[in-house]
Protein backbone atom coordinates (compact mmCIF):
# COMPACT_ATOMS: atom_id res chain seq x y z
CA UNK A 1 0.00 0.00 0.00
CA UNK A 2 2.65 2.54 1.02
CA UNK A 3 4.93 1.73 -1.92
CA UNK A 4 2.08 2.18 -4.37
CA UNK A 5 0.86 5.69 -3.53
CA UNK A 6 -0.02 7.34 -6.86
CA UNK A 7 2.30 10.19 -7.84
CA UNK A 8 -0.46 12.84 -7.90
CA UNK A 9 -1.57 11.81 -4.39
CA UNK A 10 2.02 12.00 -3.14
CA UNK A 11 2.32 15.50 -4.60
CA UNK A 12 -0.84 16.67 -2.84
CA UNK A 13 0.24 15.04 0.45
CA UNK A 14 3.59 16.89 0.30
CA UNK A 15 1.82 20.16 -0.55
CA UNK A 16 -0.51 19.82 2.47
CA UNK A 17 2.34 18.73 4.77
CA UNK A 18 4.19 21.93 3.85
CA UNK A 19 1.13 24.15 4.54
CA UNK A 20 0.51 22.36 7.86
CA UNK A 21 4.17 22.78 8.88
CA UNK A 22 4.06 26.52 8.09
CA UNK A 23 0.67 26.97 9.82
CA UNK A 24 2.17 25.74 13.08
CA UNK A 25 4.97 28.31 13.20
CA UNK A 26 3.74 31.43 11.42
CA UNK A 27 0.87 32.43 13.71
CA UNK A 28 -1.92 31.36 11.35
CA UNK A 29 -5.29 31.64 13.08
CA UNK A 30 -6.40 28.34 14.66
CA UNK A 31 -9.57 28.10 12.58
CA UNK A 32 -7.54 28.48 9.39
CA UNK A 33 -4.80 26.00 10.31
CA UNK A 34 -5.10 22.55 8.71
CA UNK A 35 -4.24 20.81 12.02
CA UNK A 36 -3.69 17.55 10.20
CA UNK A 37 -2.23 14.24 11.34
CA UNK A 38 1.45 13.42 10.74
CA UNK A 39 2.33 10.78 8.10
CA UNK A 40 2.95 8.01 10.66
CA UNK A 41 -0.63 8.41 11.92
CA UNK A 42 -1.81 8.22 8.31
CA UNK A 43 -0.02 4.90 7.90
CA UNK A 44 -1.49 3.63 11.15
CA UNK A 45 -5.02 4.59 10.05
CA UNK A 46 -4.51 2.84 6.70
CA UNK A 47 -3.23 -0.34 8.39
CA UNK A 48 -6.21 -0.43 10.76
CA UNK A 49 -8.71 0.42 8.00
CA UNK A 50 -7.36 -2.37 5.82
CA UNK A 51 -8.33 -4.91 8.52
CA UNK A 52 -11.77 -3.70 9.60
CA UNK A 53 -14.92 -5.58 8.57
CA UNK A 54 -17.20 -4.73 5.67
CA UNK A 55 -19.40 -1.78 6.58
CA UNK A 56 -19.37 2.02 6.62
CA UNK A 57 -16.08 3.87 6.93
CA UNK A 58 -16.37 7.39 8.29
CA UNK A 59 -14.20 10.31 9.33
CA UNK A 60 -15.33 13.24 11.50
CA UNK A 61 -13.19 16.29 10.64
CA UNK A 62 -11.79 16.31 7.09
CA UNK A 63 -9.90 19.61 7.09
CA UNK A 64 -8.11 19.68 3.71
CA UNK A 65 -8.45 15.92 3.22
CA UNK A 66 -4.95 14.78 4.21
CA UNK A 67 -6.02 11.99 6.61
CA UNK A 68 -8.79 11.00 4.16
CA UNK A 69 -6.12 10.28 1.53
CA UNK A 70 -4.31 7.86 3.85
CA UNK A 71 -7.52 6.03 4.76
CA UNK A 72 -8.52 5.83 1.11
CA UNK A 73 -5.26 4.00 0.33
CA UNK A 74 -6.63 1.07 2.34
CA UNK A 75 -10.20 1.27 1.06
CA UNK A 76 -9.76 1.65 -2.68
CA UNK A 77 -8.45 -1.92 -3.24
CA UNK A 78 -11.42 -3.20 -1.20
CA UNK A 79 -13.97 -1.22 -3.24
CA UNK A 80 -15.09 0.70 -0.11
CA UNK A 81 -15.82 4.46 -0.05
CA UNK A 82 -14.92 6.74 2.84
CA UNK A 83 -17.61 9.13 4.10
CA UNK A 84 -15.97 12.21 5.58
CA UNK A 85 -17.51 15.30 7.24
CA UNK A 86 -16.20 18.88 7.34
CA UNK A 87 -18.13 21.81 8.76
CA UNK A 88 -16.05 24.82 7.62
CA UNK A 89 -16.63 26.00 4.02
CA UNK A 90 -13.01 27.12 3.46
CA UNK A 91 -11.66 23.72 4.56
CA UNK A 92 -14.34 21.96 2.51
CA UNK A 93 -13.16 23.82 -0.61
CA UNK A 94 -9.58 22.69 0.04
CA UNK A 95 -10.73 19.10 0.62
CA UNK A 96 -12.62 19.07 -2.69
CA UNK A 97 -9.47 20.33 -4.41
CA UNK A 98 -7.42 17.61 -2.65
CA UNK A 99 -9.77 14.82 -3.74
CA UNK A 100 -9.92 16.09 -7.32
CA UNK A 101 -6.17 16.56 -7.74
CA UNK A 102 -5.39 13.22 -6.06
CA UNK A 103 -7.79 11.31 -8.29
CA UNK A 104 -9.90 9.91 -5.43
CA UNK A 105 -13.15 11.78 -6.13
CA UNK A 106 -15.02 8.50 -6.71
CA UNK A 107 -13.59 6.85 -3.60
CA UNK A 108 -14.87 9.47 -1.17
CA UNK A 109 -18.33 10.65 -0.19
CA UNK A 110 -17.61 14.15 1.03
CA UNK A 111 -20.21 15.79 3.27
CA UNK A 112 -19.85 19.52 3.84
CA UNK A 113 -21.69 20.24 7.09
CA UNK A 114 -22.04 19.38 10.74
CA UNK A 115 -21.44 15.70 11.45
CA UNK A 116 -24.20 15.68 14.07
CA UNK A 117 -26.80 16.69 11.47
CA UNK A 118 -25.89 13.73 9.27
CA UNK A 119 -25.20 11.16 11.97
CA UNK A 120 -28.76 9.81 12.42
CA UNK A 121 -28.62 8.15 9.02
CA UNK A 122 -25.46 6.19 9.89
CA UNK A 123 -25.46 2.47 10.71
CA UNK A 124 -23.17 -0.57 10.42
CA UNK A 125 -20.00 1.44 11.02
CA UNK A 126 -16.82 -0.59 10.55
CA UNK A 127 -14.32 2.26 11.03
CA UNK A 128 -14.62 5.73 12.50
CA UNK A 129 -11.81 8.27 12.77
CA UNK A 130 -12.67 11.08 15.21
CA UNK A 131 -10.61 14.21 14.56
CA UNK A 132 -12.86 17.26 15.12
CA UNK A 133 -12.94 19.77 18.01
CA UNK A 134 -11.82 18.02 21.16
CA UNK A 135 -14.87 19.04 23.23
CA UNK A 136 -17.02 17.11 20.72
CA UNK A 137 -15.25 13.76 21.10
CA UNK A 138 -17.52 12.41 23.83
CA UNK A 139 -20.60 13.32 21.80
CA UNK A 140 -19.08 11.67 18.72
CA UNK A 141 -18.34 8.52 20.71
CA UNK A 142 -21.90 8.43 22.09
CA UNK A 143 -23.34 8.78 18.58
CA UNK A 144 -21.21 6.10 16.89
CA UNK A 145 -20.70 3.56 19.72
CA UNK A 146 -24.11 1.94 19.30
CA UNK A 147 -23.79 1.88 15.51
CA UNK A 148 -20.48 -0.02 15.36
CA UNK A 149 -20.22 -3.45 13.76
CA UNK A 150 -18.54 -6.27 15.65
CA UNK A 151 -14.80 -5.99 14.97
CA UNK A 152 -15.20 -2.33 13.98
CA UNK A 153 -12.75 0.28 15.23
CA UNK A 154 -13.14 3.79 16.55
CA UNK A 155 -9.90 5.78 16.51
CA UNK A 156 -9.67 9.17 18.23
CA UNK A 157 -6.74 11.47 17.47
CA UNK A 158 -4.86 13.71 19.94
CA UNK A 159 -4.99 11.33 22.90
CA UNK A 160 -1.58 12.65 24.02
CA UNK A 161 -1.43 16.34 23.07
CA UNK A 162 -5.07 17.02 24.07
CA UNK A 163 -5.25 14.38 26.80
CA UNK A 164 -7.10 16.61 29.29
CA UNK A 165 -9.79 17.59 26.79
CA UNK A 166 -10.58 14.09 25.57
CA UNK A 167 -10.05 12.27 28.88
CA UNK A 168 -13.81 12.17 29.64
CA UNK A 169 -14.44 10.39 26.34
CA UNK A 170 -11.56 7.93 26.90
CA UNK A 171 -12.76 7.13 30.42
CA UNK A 172 -16.30 6.57 29.19
CA UNK A 173 -15.08 4.24 26.42
CA UNK A 174 -12.87 2.30 28.83
CA UNK A 175 -15.88 1.68 31.12
CA UNK A 176 -18.03 0.55 28.17
CA UNK A 177 -18.06 -3.25 28.15
CA UNK A 178 -18.87 -3.35 24.42
CA UNK A 179 -15.31 -2.14 23.65
CA UNK A 180 -11.67 -3.00 24.21
CA UNK A 181 -9.63 0.21 24.27
CA UNK A 182 -5.97 1.16 24.14
CA UNK A 183 -4.00 4.38 23.70
CA UNK A 184 -1.26 3.94 21.11
CA UNK A 185 1.65 6.44 21.23
CA UNK A 186 1.85 7.13 17.50
CA UNK A 187 1.83 10.74 16.28
CA UNK A 188 -0.25 12.79 18.71
CA UNK A 189 -1.66 9.69 20.40
CA UNK A 190 -4.31 7.43 18.91
CA UNK A 191 -7.03 6.13 21.23
CA UNK A 192 -8.33 2.92 19.68
CA UNK A 193 -11.61 1.21 20.62
CA UNK A 194 -12.52 -2.16 19.13
CA UNK A 195 -16.18 -3.18 19.20
CA UNK A 196 -16.41 -6.74 20.56
Ligand X SMILES: C[S@@+](CC[C@H](N)C(=O)[O-])C[C@H]1O[C@@H](n2cnc3c(N)ncnc32)[C@H](O)[C@@H]1O
Contacts with ligand X, residue ranges (CB under 6 A): 35-37, 60-61, 63, 66-67, 85-88, 91, 114-116, 131-133, 136
Whichever of 54 and 117 has its CB closer to ligand X, that residue is 117
Whichever of 67 and 102 has its CB closer to ligand X, that residue is 67
Whichever of 94 and 148 has its CB closer to ligand X, that residue is 94
Least Cβ distance, residue 24 to ligand X (angstroms)? 12
Whichever of 91 and 195 has its CB closer to ligand X, that residue is 91
Helix axes 7-23, 89-102, angle to 10 degrees: 150
Q: Which of 111, 117, 94 is nearest to 36 (CA)?
A: 94
Least Cβ distance, residue 42 to ligand X (angstroms)? 8
Least Cβ distance, residue 150 to ligand X (angstroms)? 26
Q: Which residue is nearest to ligand X (CB)?
A: 61
Whichever of 36 and 72 has its CB closer to ligand X, that residue is 36
Least Cβ distance, residue 127 to ligand X (angstroms)? 14
Least Cβ distance, residue 87 to ligand X (angstroms)? 4
Amino acid sequence: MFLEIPEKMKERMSFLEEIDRRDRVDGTDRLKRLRQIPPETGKFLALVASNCPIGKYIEIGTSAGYSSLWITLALKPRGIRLKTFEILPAKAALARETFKLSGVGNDIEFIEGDFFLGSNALSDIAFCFIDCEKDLYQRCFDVVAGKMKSGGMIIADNAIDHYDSIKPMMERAERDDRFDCLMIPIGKGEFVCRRK
